Chain A
Amino acid sequence: AQTVTQSQPEMSVQEAETVTLSCTYDTSESNYYLFWYKQPPSRQMILVIRQEAYKQQNATENRFSVNFQKAAKSFSLKISDSQLGDTAMYFCAFMKRVGGTSYGKLTFGQGTILTVHP
């Protein structure tokens, strides 16, 4: 079974600064996806970024980027130029990649509460 661990229950950052959220996972699979989801106070789950394990290049989406270390089973999220709207709970998640199927089970970490201060 896969496990996902987020060791930082809470983080804070000043507006416009950079913050990194940590995530480690444990799996025996070689083909999988990793995700960061954001859950603001509205409780809507929003996909921030996705990484495919077979791709060596780290994914980036505007101010969000990841540092994917496959051998170390580490998947951190870097938020640059933090904005007040980034205040949310962030979840790291794992999904095994099963070829030919349109479904997959997300396994989530415990979440990290990020507060951006003005």
Chain B
Amino acid sequence: DTAVSQTPKYLVTQMGNDKSIKCEQNLGHDTMYWYKQDSKKFLKIMFSYNNKELIINETVPNRFSPKSPDKAHLNLHINSLELGDSAVYFCASSQLAYEQFFGPGTRLTVL
């Protein structure tokens, strides 16, 4: 059984488009995260939700909007995609802060 799943795994789109990445966890965790891994493999946190409440919001362009319809789901919507948004986006979840379980990642390519 997949613990943290993301859809899609790959996403190729044109500049200026709007796209969403979905994340679901079946671990019963209260907290979910979005991390971005750029082309140099550097990983950085973007957002975190705890029980559907936004608790971590790093310096991210406001074209990025997370939404948590329930505590098992955390989606990432990106408006007006730019070339620099090309990256791998990882979702993660945790019940204990120090045990974060990562999803398989979504590779976003903006052309």
Q: Which residues of A contact B (CB under 8 A)?
A: 33, 35, 39, 42-47, 50, 52, 89, 91, 95, 97-98, 101-108, 110-111
A104-B102 CB under 8 A given contacts A43-B88, A45-B90, A111-B41 = no
A42 to B99, CA, bound (A): 21
**Which residues of the partner chain B approach A97 to less than 8 Å between Cβ atoms?**
97-98
Chain B residues lying within 8 Å of A107, measured Cβ to Cβ, are 45
**Which B positions have Cβ atoms within 8 angstroms of A?**
29-31, 33, 35, 40-45, 48, 50, 55-56, 88, 90, 92, 94-100, 102, 104-105, 107
Q: Which 3 A-B pairs have the closest CB atoms?
A: A104-B97, A45-B102, A103-B31
Residues of A within 8 A of B42 (CB): 108, 110-111
A106 and B100 contact, CB distance less than 8 A: yes
Total inter-chain residue pairs, C-beta < 8 Å: 68
Task: For residue A43, give the distance in angstroms from its CB to the closest CB of chain B.
Answer: 5
Q: Is the CB of B105 within 8 A of A50?
A: no
Q: List 16 A–B pairs whose Cβ atoms lie within 8 Å, in order of A's numbering.
A: A42-B104, A47-B100, A52-B98, A95-B98, A97-B97, A98-B97, A102-B29, A102-B95, A103-B97, A106-B100, A108-B42, A108-B44, A110-B40, A110-B42, A111-B42, A111-B43
A110 to B42, CA, bound (A): 6
CA distance A43 to B89 in the complex (A): 11
Q: How would you classify the secondary structure of chain B's contact residues: helix, strand, loop or mixed?
A: strand
Q: Among the listed B31, B44, B104, which residue makes an inter-chain contact with A44, where contact means beta carbons less than 8 Å apart?
A: B104
**Given A33, A42, A43, A105, which contacts B56 in the complex, CB threshold below 8 Å?**
A105
> What CA separation (Å) do A110 and B19 show in the bound complex?
28
Complex Cα distance, B16 from A116, in Å, reads 42
How many angstroms between the C-alpha atoms of A111 and B102 in the bound complex? 17
A45 to B106, CA, bound (A): 12
